[in-house]
């Protein structure tokens, strides 16, 4: 009798255990040509920040969507640095399937001072040339995507920012 119970339990486990998942997998391969975003600007490229314009939005970045060859959610981030090699980069997350980012003077001021030495030893503002680009990657919200590609980068634009310090 004891063996019959064990056999029934084992048979029950085999019958109600699936060998395959019902989730369809979408594959994004690195071998496919992935279209990077194309970055454009509207507004000022030479920005001098002072107390009168600290709340203004002097520049708007917009870009085309990146095509990974599948219908997936794409995460975009703004990367900025003081050189084209982006070895001192600072990254701001923009969002998923978002194609525009308005930059306000307050944020630019904070980023330039905190990350790119926008002030000299006497707390006087220094003009900083910022190289900016957008990078795209498949968002984490795509759990069924496997073999994710690396980031793809947009073209680079340059802004000149003179920060404000009281």
Instruction: Give dist(CA 28, CA 30) in Å, integer.
Output: 7
pTM over 0.85: no
Q: Which of residues 24 and 84 earns the better pLDDT score? A: 84
Question: pLDDT tens across 115-149, in order?
Answer: 999 999 898 999 999 999 999 988 877 666 656 66
80 in Cβ contact with 35 (< 8 Å): no
Q: Check if CATH label 2.60.40.10 holds for domain 26-162.
A: yes
Q: What percent of the chain shows pLDDT beyond 70?
A: 78
Report residue 66 CA to chain centroid gap. Answer: 12
What are the structural domain ranges in the chain?
26-162
What is the mean predicted confidence (pLDDT) over 99-122?
Answer: 95
Provide, rounded to the nearest whole percent, the portion of the chain with pLDDT above 90: 61
Distance from C-alpha of 138 to C-alpha of 7, rounded to nearest angstrom: 47
The predicted structure's pLDDT at residue 40:
97
Closest C-alpha among 2, 30, 9 to residue 145: 30
């Amino acid at each position: 009798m004891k063996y019959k119970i064990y056999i029934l339990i084992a048979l029950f486990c085999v019958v109600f255990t699936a060998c395959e998942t019902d989730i369809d997998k979408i594959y994004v391969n690195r071998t496919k040509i992935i279209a990077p975003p194309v970055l454009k600007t509207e507004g000022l490229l030479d920005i001098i920040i002072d107390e009168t314009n600290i709340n203004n939005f002097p520049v708007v970045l917009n870009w085309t969507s990146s095509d990974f060859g599948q219908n997936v959610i794409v995460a975009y981030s703004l990367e900025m640095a003081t050189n084209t090699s982006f070895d001192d980069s600072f990254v701001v997350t923009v969002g998923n399937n978002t194609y525009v980012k308005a930059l306000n003077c307050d944020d630019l001021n904070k980023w330039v001072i905190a990350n790119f030495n926008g002030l000299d030893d006497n707390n006087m503002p220094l003009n900083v040339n910022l190289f900016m680009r957008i990078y795209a990657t498949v968002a984490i919200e795509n759990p069924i995507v496997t073999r994710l590609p690396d980031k793809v980068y947009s073209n680079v634009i340059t802004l000149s920012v003179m920060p404000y310090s009281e």
